[in-house]
Amino acid sequence: MNRLEETLSLRLTGAEVLARIAVDRADGCLTYVNDARELRLLFKGGRPEGVAVGGGDSSVDRAAVIGAVRGLAVATAGRCSFAAGTSAIATSLSLDTMGEALVGLVHGMSNEVVHEVVSARREAQVEPTPLTAKLATVIAKVAGTPPPVPSAATALEVLLRGAGVAEERALLALWSLGGLRRVTPAPVTKAGPAVPARAVEESMPLPTEPKARAAALEIQAAHARLAEATYYQVLDVATDATAEQVREAYFKVAKRWHSDTFGGLELGPEIRGLAEDLFRVAGEAQHVLCDAGERKTYDFILDRKAKGLPTDVNVILEAEALFHKAKVLVRRGQAAAAEPSLRQAVELNKGEAEFWAYFGFAVHAAKGADGLTEARAALQRALEMNPKLDEAYEFLGRIARVEGQMGEAERQLRKALELKPKNLEAVRELRLIVMRGAKNEEQAKGAARLFGGLFAKK
């Protein structure tokens, strides 16, 4: 995440903004402004590490940071902006953004606001995700009430029938954390619009009357392009078209495929069905592209699809969970045991440089020299995605040391420390190499003092 600009409302709470930062594991500063009040939260890896109110200095007081996160989670007014960037504050609080947001929603939002937020979304269609069952269990423990859970795509209004505010609160938490997914007109191929399955168009009976036949062939051709088209292509507008331009384009397209256009022509029910699809999808395109929130989500999907990255938040979260468990194993010296989980994580989400770096190191740990080519390829891929990832250089150095390539190992480890002087593992590895190469005891002591100085308080 490089930039985020969101206006909070009953349709977008602070909890959902926080969840996005957590899922993206973003580094940077989230600024929340409401009336004259300004709050800044510093994030590293999607976790809150510091807070500042107004123009004051940042604080790393744990209670203050927790209070700020929980307070923002229940906000339904104001504006949030996120600027990416590396924070000077070291990671130390180990707070779970999603967990603190959940506590805020469960214990910090008034009953009246919960009801207002849910009521504003009553017409939405939602469906369960792979995380639904697990999240529902956690929410039931925290909230004391299980959320109503759909078995398939269901209108939120149906789920709320007979529900009290406790169930509404639990349902809102479930949705905010990714346990429910809004069912919207979604792209199925190349982020294009979803189109109902119909009989093979080439085999459809065509009218014999020349004018009707020409119209039928035009409808068939347009419908055949629909599955590969984006909403921008459906309306023939640029990706930066204004809402007014979108509406103007929609009226032209809708008029072209409206049933009145083909009045008096004997097209047959199947061809008319294709025309109905074209008319309906044009309406969906207009709705999505004229709604700022819907359009932002749609553009996000288009971008990730173009990069070959997953767009399902549940897939992203599953990959994140696998990676974080595996990362702990690697840092505990059990990299070989982490290899299967890391392999699955990069298969689920190929767009994370850190995933590839840890995967490369784990491959070498599990396979030794037999896995050297695959390990280095993975680490190179990580550096192509993020040339400033110190851990990738650290792992290249550690692998080179194991393979007996001391000069290469020292070069890579020094690069890691240029990017992050306090990379402890790189410091230890480089110190070991330098001290082993020291010609006498005095040189060894000098090397030890040099590395110890890296961590001296200034």
Instruction: Please answer whether residues 15 and 104 qualify as being in contact, where contact means their C-beta atoms are separated by less than 8 angstroms.
Output: yes
Q: Which of 272, 246, 242, 244 is nearest to 260 (CA)?
A: 272
CATH code where residue 321 lies = 1.25.40.10
pLDDT for 312 equals 65
pLDDT for 192 equals 62
226 and 356 co-located in one domain: no
435 and 325 co-located in one domain: yes
In a domain, 242, yes or no: yes
In the chain, % helix, strand, coil (3-state, to 5) comes to 60, 10, 30
Q: Does residue 305 have a pLDDT over 70?
A: yes
* Mean local confidence (pLDDT), 277-287: 89
pTM over 0.85: no
Instruction: Using alpha carbons, list the distances in angstroms from residue 32 to 6, 18, 19, 76, 107.
Output: 10, 11, 15, 11, 21
pLDDT for 399 equals 95
386 and 444 co-located in one domain: yes
pLDDT for 89 equals 63
356 and 377 co-located in one domain: yes
Task: Count the domains in the chain.
Answer: 4
Among residues 147, 182, 217, the one where a domain terminates is 182
CATH code where residue 248 lies = 1.10.287.110
pLDDT for 393 equals 96
In a domain, 187, yes or no: no
CA–CA dist 387, 427 (Å, integer): 20
pLDDT for 186 equals 42
CA–CA dist 93, 67 (Å, integer): 13
Q: Which of 194, 202, 176, 209 is nearest to 23 (CA)?
A: 176
Among residues 182, 212, 231, the one where a domain terminates is 182
List, for residues 230-262, the tens digit of each pLDDT value: 899 999 999 999 999 999 999 999 998 888 888
164 and 129 co-located in one domain: yes
List, for residues 341-355, the tens digit of each pLDDT value: 999 999 888 888 999
pLDDT for 195 equals 63
Q: At what angle do helices 14-24 and 62-73 cross, to 10 degrees?
A: 120
* Mean local confidence (pLDDT), 324-333: 92
Q: Which of 229, 220, 228 is nearest to 275 (CA)?
A: 220
Among residues 97, 126, 158, the one where a domain terminates is 97
φ, ψ of residue 194 to 5 degrees: the values are -75, 135
Instruction: Using alpha carbons, list the distances in angstroms from residue 60 to 43, 48, 83, 127, 358.
Output: 11, 9, 19, 39, 29
317 and 359 co-located in one domain: yes
CA–CA dist 54, 237 (Å, integer): 42
pLDDT for 458 equals 39
In a domain, 190, yes or no: no
Confidence label for 444 from pLDDT (cuts 50, 70 and 90): very low
List, for residues 121-158, the tens digit of each pLDDT value: 887 888 888 878 888 888 888 888 888 888 888 878 88
pLDDT for 2 equals 63
**Residue scoring higher pLDDT (41 or 197):** 41
In a domain, 106, yes or no: no
Q: What is the number of other CB atoms lying within 10 angstroms of the CB of residue 148?
A: 19
**Percentage of the chain with pLDDT > 70?**
88
In a domain, 423, yes or no: yes
Instruction: Please answer whether residues 10 and 73 qualify as being in contact, where contact means their C-beta atoms are separated by less than 8 angstroms.
Output: no
332 and 448 co-located in one domain: yes
Instruction: Please answer whether residues 424 and 398 qualify as being in contact, where contact means their C-beta atoms are separated by less than 8 angstroms.
Output: no
Residue 423 structure tokens: 């990379």
pLDDT for 247 equals 92
CA–CA dist 374, 382 (Å, integer): 12
Q: Does residue 96 have a pLDDT over 90?
A: no
In a domain, 244, yes or no: yes
47-53 vs 79-84, strand pairing mode = unpaired
Instruction: Please answer whether residues 140 and 166 qualify as being in contact, where contact means their C-beta atoms are separated by less than 8 angstroms.
Output: no
pLDDT for 185 equals 43
**Residue scoring higher pLDDT (317 or 262):** 262
Q: Does residue 438 have a pLDDT over 60?
A: no
221 and 158 co-located in one domain: no
Q: Which residue in this structure is represented by tokens 């921008």? A: 232
301 and 318 co-located in one domain: no
Q: Does residue 447 have a pLDDT over 50?
A: no
DSSP secondary structure letters along 389-409:
-HHHHHHHHHHHHHTT-HHHH
Instruction: Please answer whether residues 218 and 272 qualify as being in contact, where contact means their C-beta atoms are separated by less than 8 angstroms.
Output: no
pLDDT for 91 equals 58
Q: Does residue 200 have a pLDDT over 70?
A: no
Q: Does residue 431 have a pLDDT over 90?
A: no
In a domain, 267, yes or no: yes
Range of the domain at 123: 112-182
Q: Which of 32, 10, 15 is nearest to 99 (CA)?
A: 15
Confidence label for 334 from pLDDT (cuts 50, 70 and 90): very high
pLDDT for 165 equals 86
List, for residues 165-193, the tens digit of each pLDDT value: 889 999 999 988 878 888 754 443 445 66
Confidence label for 314 from pLDDT (cuts 50, 70 and 90): low
432 and 328 co-located in one domain: yes
289 and 330 co-located in one domain: no
pLDDT for 160 equals 82
In a domain, 195, yes or no: no
Q: 272 pairs with which residues across the strands?
A: none
318 and 446 co-located in one domain: yes
Q: Which of 44, 53, 94, 59 is nearest to 71 (CA)?
A: 53
User: What's the 3-state SS for 37-80?
Assistant: EEEEEEEECCEEEEEEECCCCCECCHHHHHHHHHHHHCCCCCEE
List, for residues 257-272, the tens digit of each pLDDT value: 888 888 888 888 888 8
List, for residues 69-86, the tens digit of each pLDDT value: 999 999 999 999 998 887
